[in-house]
Amino acid sequence: MLSSKKILIADDSEFVHHICKARLARCRDCVFLSAKNGHDAYTILSGEDKIDLIVLDLNMPLMNGIEFMEKMRRNPLYKQIPVIVLSTDENEDKLKMLRSLGAWAFVKKSQADSFINMIEDALAKKPSPLLEFH
């Protein structure tokens, strides 16, 4: 179903990178790019021709998820890239900020069962669920 897509995973947990890649194993033509913080994620983003989707943690060192999104959205080249926030942080103010920055969805790490469907929907350019909790 998924093919030829670049997915950037930005999370400081090696376990999360492993889980994301394992859950997306059926995407044989997907290329996974990994960053451990927002600064590295932005460096990768600016060095690639096209990123189709970003999976983003909120709480990372050097540059957190919100700081990353603020910087990313200031660049017109990156405004249309869907961002799925995968985090344990459910702070309402942060969720409002993410919504205002155009996050495509929010998925709680503890309930990532719907994660694959979210990824497929985002890559298929389906409408955002507007930060519904899954």
| 128 found inside a domain | no
| 85 found inside a domain | yes
| 100 found inside a domain | yes
Indicate left, alpha or beta for 106 from its phi (over 0: left) and psi (-120 to 50: alpha). beta
Residue 31 CB coordination number (10 Å): 13
Please report, for the domain that includes residue 64, its CATH number: 3.40.50.2300
* Single-letter residue type at 16: V
Say how far apart CA 116 and CA 94 lie, in whole Å.
Answer: 24
| 76 found inside a domain | yes
| Count of domains forming the chain | 1
| 35 found inside a domain | yes
Structural domain span for residue 34: 6-123
Residue 38: per-residue pLDDT: 95
Question: Digits of tens for pLDDT over the chain (134 positions)?
Answer: 445 789 999 998 887 777 777 777 776 778 889 999 999 999 999 998 889 999 999 889 999 999 999 999 999 999 899 998 887 777 788 888 888 888 888 877 766 666 667 777 777 777 776 544 44
| 130 found inside a domain | no
Does the reported pTM lie above 0.85?
A: no
Residue 69 CB coordination number (10 Å): 23
| 99 found inside a domain | yes
